[in-house]
Structure 1
Amino acid sequence: MNLDFEAWKQFAIDHWIIIVVAIVAMIVIVKLVKTLTKWVLVAAIVVGLAVYGGYSINDLKEVGSKVSSALLNEAIASMAGEAADAKYTLNEDGTYTVTSNNLTLSGVPNSGEVKVTYRGVTFPAVPLEGAVREFVVQAREASQ
């Protein structure tokens, strides 16, 4: 969690309404609830604000894109080892599918991109270049 003062200041500016609602909720809870439960609820609100304020949507998107690109790189790296066992299939609709143990590629001939599925995760529109192109060519040659 980022404890930078500028980040918290920006969070307060961007989400002031959430902070106001949280403060009003805490005041109502402290006034109405007379048991230990009120302090648990107040602590939950404070912790919720701290967690929500520490991570922005952009931070979460950045983490998601890093994980996605790392998984795509892993898929591309595994293509070299699985090219010998890959099966190339030309479908009736003019598309092709290349399947191996962990990978499935599907695309339209001469489109320049393929849809890669690696261990259940699909990456739409991966450029058909480099290792990806070699994988498709090797699979096509092996199946003829």
Structure 2
Amino acid sequence: MDTQVWIEFLKQNWLVIAIGLVVLFIVLNVVRTVVKWALAVLIIAGLLIYSGISLDKIGEVVSTVKDETVDTIKTEAMNMMMKEAKEAKYTSNEDGTYTVKAPNLELVGSSTSREVEVSFRGVPVGKWDINDTIQGFINDARNNAGSK
């Protein structure tokens, strides 16, 4: 989301936002419990509706941020694979799966599948299709295990 858009929005609607915040603080200080929070939600919803921000736009922004975050994590994990390939350890499991562990990465896959489950710094980041980078990482890990 562009910060310039938010700055322009705040410049154009600063008075309404200020009045809304003052009313919100008065309501939060004067009214009790459930009614207080119901009024607070109504005031915030009113400000959002007045500002022209719809739930669809909020959903689009959340979706865009999520996609950008996943892409960033995937790029970082791919870069980490190239850096840590020499330290990766390949383990073949009895059930036909394999595990590749490096200091910041862990891949779990099956010899019959073209996907691996990837964990980056201990956080699962999903199933990824095996591309050239991932296959190279797996091959390097196999070679590391064989050379020791």
Aligned to 1:124: 126
Alignment correspondent of 1:78: 80
Deviates more, 1:126-135 or 1:52-61: 52-61
Q: Name the CA distance, whole Å, in 2 between partners of 1:114 and 1:122.
A: 11
Whether 1:53 aligns to 2:54 is yes
Provide the rounded CA distance (Å) in 1 between the counterparts of 2:124 and 2:64: 19
Report SS of the residue matched to 1:122: strand
Q: 1:143 aligns with which of 127, 145, 148?
A: 145
> Does residue 94 in structure 1 map to residue 96 in structure 2?
yes
Change (3 A) 1:52 1:92: farther
Q: In the alignment, does 2:111 pair up with 1:109? A: yes
Is 114-123 or 89-98 further displaced after alignment?
A: 114-123
Shift of 1:48: 5.0
Provide the residue aligned with 2:69 in structure 1.
Answer: 67
The 2-side partners of 1:51 and 1:135 are apart by 48
Tell me by how many angstroms 1:107 deviates: 0.3
Name the SS of the counterpart of 1:56 in structure 2.
helix
CA distance in 2, matches of 1:125, 1:78: 17
**What is the identity, as a one-letter code, of the residue corresponding to 2:142?**
R
SS in 1 for 2:87: coil
Given the two structures, how large is their TM-score scaled by the length of structure 2?
A: 0.64
TM-score when normalising by structure 1:
0.65
Query: Which structure has the highest helix share of the two?
Result: 2
Q: Which amino acid aligns with 1:72?
A: K
Q: Distance in 2 between matches of 1:139 and 1:68?
A: 25
* Structure 1: runs of 5+ lacking an equivalent: 4-29, 31-35
Shift of the 57–102 alpha-carbon distance from structure 1 to 2, 3 Å rule, reads: same
CA 48–110 in structure 1, closer or farther in 2 if over 3 Å, else same: same
Q: Which amino acid aligns with 1:136?
A: I
Q: Post-superposition shift, 1:51?
A: 8.8
Q: 1:129 to 1:45 in 2, by over 3 A?
A: closer
**Structure 1 letter corresponding to 2:54:** G
Unaligned runs of 5+ in 2: 6-22, 31-38
- Name the SS for the 2:54 alignment partner: helix
Q: Distance in 2 between matches of 1:94 and 1:48?
A: 54
Aligned structure 1 segments of 4 or more residues deviating by more than 2 angstroms: 40-56
Count of paired positions? 113
